[in-house]
Amino acid sequence: MKATLALANGELFEGTSVGARGETVGEVVFNTAHTGYQEILTDPSYAGQIVTFTVSEVGNYGIHFGDEQAETAQVAGFIARRACKEPSNWRSQLSLPDFLSKNNVVGIEGVDTRKLVRILRTSGAQMGVIDSTGASAEALVEKARKAPGMEGQDLATKVSTREPYRWELGLEGRDPQPRKHEVVVVDYGVKRGILRQLVDIGCGVTVVPSKTAAAEILARKPDGVVLSNGPGDPAAVGGADLQARELLGKVPVMGICLGNQILALAMGGRTYKLKFGHRGANHPVRDVIGDKIDLTSQNHGFAVDAKSLEGKVQVTHFNLYDGTVEGIAAPDLRMFAVQYHPEDSPGPHDSRYLFRRFVRMIEGS
């Protein structure tokens, strides 16, 4: 069945429908990772976004239940050059197109993704529509132009859990280490990979909604708090900066991705929207403190303004592609945060040590 991708700038791409039939609207972005499509599709940080996969074929190793980062797919839509219908892998339990259909994700394949990515790099990430109902090109472009952008959207509250819950599963389903420390994770759109990492290093993990008051979090008497990743504009997450500010100095705090931005706001910094964002499993980041380079997994469309942090907090990491802030720390407040994803899922394992650093901070070492 024919499908059309229309961008707000008037560009049109014709292709074939894959996944669910219908129409979807979202911010069109691209991810440069060559593997990990299941983790990407189920990452809550992609809420409201239509993801373009730059690799020539997606889905060749299928879907394995257990690799997902949330209960269901989170993306607004799917774009690929080709989606593999017949995967070949001993772990595969479902094909990617069937997974998209099962999760009601509208997608398009047969698109010249190299051309599309060049447009997004030049013009910036922009709103778009995927349609397989036969609507006119003019109507689709107009719909894309009228769609609200990411700036000013509090999507973190929408994807957050509604009730606190306990997470018990470690990596690869193996038996977790004995519980040495109790950690509260504030869910702005948390990936399950983060929760698995915490369990695997011996933490008892309780996940709470994004709007949970700092006093309520502290009343649980946690040994540490993690502010998670999530979608949307960090400055639009109402009350999050105040929540973080009231936690600082009272308990060790680690921030990841959106959590990093929220902590920067809590320290008096500012955030801004990137032209096309950082999304991939291969972004080099310089660790200023450790004097080394990590290859990192990234997914964010906003960044922290470095100048706004001067004299307020220590900048510990920089992106080597564009020099943007990738990490901050306030040792006197027992806080550190990174803009990338140390749990990988997908991506290299270079930064998993940060979870051990968090535990050492809890232990006072």
Known catalytic residues are 257, 341, 343
How far apart, in whole angstroms, are the C-alpha atoms of residue 200 and residue 363? 17
Q: With the CA atoms of 170, 335, 352 and 99 taken in that order, what torsion angle do they form, in degrees rounded to the nearest 10?
A: 60
- Which are the contacts of 18, defined by CB distance < 8 A and separation ≥ 6? 3, 78, 80, 83, 97, 100, 107, 108, 109
From residue 300, give the alpha-carbon distance in Å to each of 97, 198, 329. Answer: 26, 22, 19
Residue found under tokens 């910036």: 124
Are 64 and 44 spatial neighbours (Cβ–Cβ below 8 Å)? no
- Per the CB < 8 A criterion, the answer to whether 90 and 67 are in contact is no
Maximum Cα interatomic distance, the chain, rounded to a whole number of Å: 63
Among candidates 132, 114, 100, which has minimal Cα distance to 5? 132
* Residue 159 amino acid letter: V
